[in-house]
Every structure is written in C-alpha cells, then in structure tokens.
C-alpha cells in the first residue's frame, strides 16, 4: 500500500480552521452575507462580494487543499459546477481526452453540452498509458482521468498520466471523488488539477452538494478563480460549513468504508449468482497491484454483474437495509443501477463497450455493521 499520509486526521480537523477572532467560536462560523462593508474606497478586510469569496468557503477551500498537500482550492455548488468551470480553461477547437467510463454527468457535459462550442471530447481507455499517448493530437489540450472509475472501478496509472501530460504539454486532471484525499493524492504524482464531488466522501452524510478544484500552480489557480467569479457556480456558505463538518471524520469513515467493502466484495465473489465483482482489493482485480502502489486503501465502491437486467431489477427490488439511490460516499449503503441511472446518457452500445452492462449493479458500501449489510445482500440475492 502507498504510505499513510502523515498527520492527515489532524489536518482534516484543523487545517485552515482557526477559532473565530471575535467570539472564540471553535467551529467556523457560517458567514451568511452577500456583501462586506468597505472602510474606504479600495480598503477592505479581504472580502468584497460573496460570489468572489466568503470566509466559510475560504476555510473549506484551504482545508481540502491541505488534505491534497497543495496550496489552492476552489469550491463550487456541485461537482458538475466545478467540472464546467474547469472546462472553461479550453477554447473552441481544443481536443480533450477523457477516461471512457467517467461519471455519466461528465460524459453528458462534454458530449451533449460543450460540444456546441466546438470543444472536442474523446473518450478512450486510459488504463493503458500507450493508448493515451496514441490518441494525443496537435489540438489536444487536456487529459481528464477518473481513477478508480465510475462504475467499473478501473484504475489509471497516475504517474504515467502525469508523464504523458508533461511531455505533450497537456493540462492533466484527475477526478479523485471515489478515492477521496485520504486514499489517494494525484497531485503528488505530478497531476495538475484534482476534481472532487464534495457531495460524496468529503461531506460523507448525503446532505449537501458541492464540488472542488484543487491545484498547486499559482497562475492556473488565478485563472480558475477568475472563471469561478465570472461563471458564478459557487458553493453556498452553509454547504461549505456542512462539508467542513463532514471532513472532520473523513479518516475514520474511510477506514470503515474500506474494511466493510473488502468483506462485502469477498462475500459477493463467493456468491453463485454473481458473475463478476469489480473491487481493486480483490486479488482477481486486474489492477490490484497498481491500486496497492498508488492508493492507501481500496475504497468503498464495488460493482458486480448479475448477468442481465431481470436479475438486477429483481435484486434491487428486494434490498431492505441498502437503499436503491443515486450517489455514493455517504454513511449509509447505497445501491444503484448505472445503465439506467448514472450512465443513462451514454448510448447503449458504448455502455456495453465500457462494461456498463444491464446486469451491472454498483454499491457504495456504508459504515453500518458489515454483517447487517451482507445479510441484506444475501437475502436479496437469494430470492433473485
Ligand atoms: C466521480 C464523480 N465525479 C463527479 C460527479 C458530479 O458531482 P455532483 O453530483 O456533486 O455534481 C459525480 C456524481 O456522482 C461523480 O460520481
């Protein structure tokens, strides 16, 4: 396993979090204000207007940047708002390479929205570094990778991505939502920008939406700050506070997610009705060694194939403790059907090609007692 981050739990609680200077409040206050009084023209306390910056949001931005081991963070109203702002670094005619099974919303944004502005989004297998190099064109400007991917739990070699991007002068981006900063820090491998849907593990309680862009390069960060205030898809102060609150327990939640997921994956792998299990912690996962090299744990996400739509439907109808719902990374176990839920925007034949079959079920393993999760899966599979 990659070495544990030193002092991570302390940083999760304390990085950028200072007691309020006016009251001593140990928790960051929620600054519900749209504007800030200026002492005189051109003199203020660092804040002018809340779309540009807000003290609660600033603390979250700095805290997550510290967890990823860098300086700059920018928070948005959702993961998709963060990704939309990120793609505004591009101009018409630019070509972008993306992992073929990125989150369905990222696919939809590229293929069905931003294509109108002559941005060319190409989805390729990024698990093979040579395949990435082969697809780089003179117009390629960005390489956007998700690892592990949603929902087939495939990995891409972070070191190789950073090397290719540097050699070809591309901006490298990693969506680190599935791993969270606790399990993986892509920027430490030379990646330029990390994306998080804060809606997932960072917040961890399924009660807010948010997104972050995290990076070290000052010039790129300034450009993204300009885009953040110009586009305006910012995170509200209350959501920023909710996320900060969630992050304080990120390390202990992630440990439990990983431990529970390992047991659930082993149970599924032994079950006769399960045709295939995708979990990087299993020795049968083709990238088990890469996972050990670049991650510090195998995460809480598993997908498994029940062989067809009818079996998947029947199973999903029968789960009781586990909830049939979109999203992931919360304390409760959530189960979804990618082909008709998160990846419904992806054309059927492409879904098949990337392994998002009709029988594929995705499970975000929560932090309940693992024997209760397994008992529920057992009864639902038994009657499928
Ligand atoms: C890997 C990944 N990235 C980005 C997003 C988008 O995040 P949000 O729903 O916060 O907009 C999601 C949402 O499920 C996701 O799973």
In DSSP notation, 5-45 reads PTTHHHHHHHTT----TTT--SSPP----SB---SBTTB-S
For the chain, give every residue range classified as CATH 3.40.640.10. 8-247
Question: Is the beta carbon of 105 within 6 A of some atom in ligand 1?
Answer: yes
pLDDT of res. 349 = 87
Give the CA angle between residues 258, 146, 182 to the nearest 5°: 35
98 touches 124 (CB < 8 A):
yes
Rounded-to-integer distance, Cα 146 and Cα 154, Å: 9
CA of 22 relative to ligand 1 center, distance in Å: 37
The residue whose CB lies within 8 Å of the most ligand 1 atoms, and thus the one to mutate among 78, 85, 103, is: 103
- DSSP H or E segment with residue 142: strand 140-146
Nearest C-alpha neighbor of 298 from the set 151, 125, 144, 182: 182
Residue 379 pLDDT level (bands cut at 50, 70, 90)? very high
Tokens standing for 288?
Answer: 């088990």
Tokens standing for 282?
Answer: 């299993």
The dihedral through the CA atoms of 59, 212, 172, 1 has a sign that is positive
pLDDT of res. 343 = 85
Residues β-bridged to residue 43? 40
Nearest CA to ligand 1 atom 14: 327
For residue 383, pLDDT over 80 is answered with: no
For residue 384, pLDDT over 90 is answered with: no
Chain segment 214-223, per-residue pLDDT in tens: 999 999 999 9
Chain segment 139-189, per-residue pLDDT in tens: 999 999 999 998 999 999 999 999 999 999 999 999 999 999 999 999 999
Which CATH number applies to 8-247?
Answer: 3.40.640.10
Question: Is the beta carbon of 29 within 6 A of some atom in ligand 1?
Answer: no
Query: Average of pLDDT values for 103-126?
Result: 95
Rounded-to-integer distance, Cα 53 and Cα 383, Å: 53
Q: What is the average pLDDT value for the chain, to the nearest integer?
A: 96
Rounded-to-integer distance, Cα 330 and Cα 337, Å: 17
Rounded-to-integer distance, Cα 254 and Cα 251, Å: 5
pLDDT of res. 172 = 98
pTM over 0.75: yes
Question: Is the beta carbon of 211 within 6 A of some atom in ligand 1?
Answer: yes
Question: Is the beta carbon of 336 within 6 A of some atom in ligand 1?
Answer: no
For residue 130, pLDDT over 80 is answered with: yes
Query: Average of pLDDT values for 240-260?
Result: 98
Rounded-to-integer distance, Cα 177 and Cα 194, Å: 9
Query: Average of pLDDT values for 235-261?
Result: 98
Question: Is the beta carbon of 307 within 6 A of some atom in ligand 1?
Answer: no
Q: What is the dihedral of CA 139, 96, 210, 247, to 10 degrees?
A: -100
pLDDT of res. 342 = 83
CA of 116 relative to ligand 1 center, distance in Å: 22
141 touches 94 (CB < 8 A):
yes
Which CATH number applies to 250-382?
Answer: 3.90.1150.10
For the chain, give every residue range classified as CATH 3.90.1150.10. 250-382
Chain segment 308-334, per-residue pLDDT in tens: 999 999 999 999 999 999 999 999 999
For residue 5, pLDDT over 90 is answered with: no
């Amino acid at each position: 396993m990659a070495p544990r981050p030193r002092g991570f739990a302390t940083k999760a609680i304390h990085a950028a979090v200072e007691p309020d200077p006016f009251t001593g409040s140990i928790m960051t206050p929620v600054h519900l204000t749209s504007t800030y009084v200026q002492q005189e023209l051109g003199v203020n306390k660092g804040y002018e207007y809340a779309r540009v910056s807000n003290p609660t949001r600033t603390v979250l931005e700095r805290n997550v940047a510290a967890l990823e081991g860098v300086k700059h963070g920018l928070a948005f109203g959702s993961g998709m708002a963060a990704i939309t702002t990120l793609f505004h670094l591009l101009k018409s005619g630019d070509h972008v390479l993306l992992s073929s099974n990125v989150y369905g919303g990222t696919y939809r944004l590229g293929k069905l929205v931003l294509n109108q502005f002559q941005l060319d989004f190409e989805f390729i297998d990024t698990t093979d570094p040579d395949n990435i190099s082969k697809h780089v064109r003179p117009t390629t400007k960005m390489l956007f990778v998700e690892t592990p991917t949603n929902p087939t739990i495939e990995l891409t070699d972070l070191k190789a991505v950073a090397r290719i991007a540097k050699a070809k002068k591309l901006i490298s981006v990693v969506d680190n939502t599935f791993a969270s900063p606790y399990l993986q820090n892509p920027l430490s491998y030379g990646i330029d920008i990390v994306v998080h849907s804060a809606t997932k593990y960072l917040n961890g309680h399924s009660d807010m939406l948010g997104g972050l862009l995290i990076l070290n390069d000052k010039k790129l960060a300034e450009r993204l700050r300009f885009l953040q205030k110009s586009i305006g898809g910012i995170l509200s102060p209350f959501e920023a506070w909710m996320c900060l609150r969630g992050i304080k327990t990120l390390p202990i939640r992630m440990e439990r997610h990983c431990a529970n997921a390992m047991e659930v994956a082993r149970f599924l792998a032994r079950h006769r009705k399960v045709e295939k299990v995708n979990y990087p912690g299993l020795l049968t996962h083709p990238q088990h060694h890469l996972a050990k090299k670049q991650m510090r744990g195998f995460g809480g996400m598993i997908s498994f194939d029940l062989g067809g739509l009818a079996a998947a439907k029947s199973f999903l109808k029968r789960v009781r403790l586990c909830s049939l719902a979109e999203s992931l990374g919360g304390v409760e176990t959530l189960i979804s059907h990618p082909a008709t839920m998160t990846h419904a925007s992806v054309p059927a034949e492409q879904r098949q090609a990337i392994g998002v079959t009709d029988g594929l079920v995705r499970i975000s393993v929560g932090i309940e007692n693992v024997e209760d999760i397994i008992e529920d899966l057992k009864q639902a599979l038994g009657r499928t």
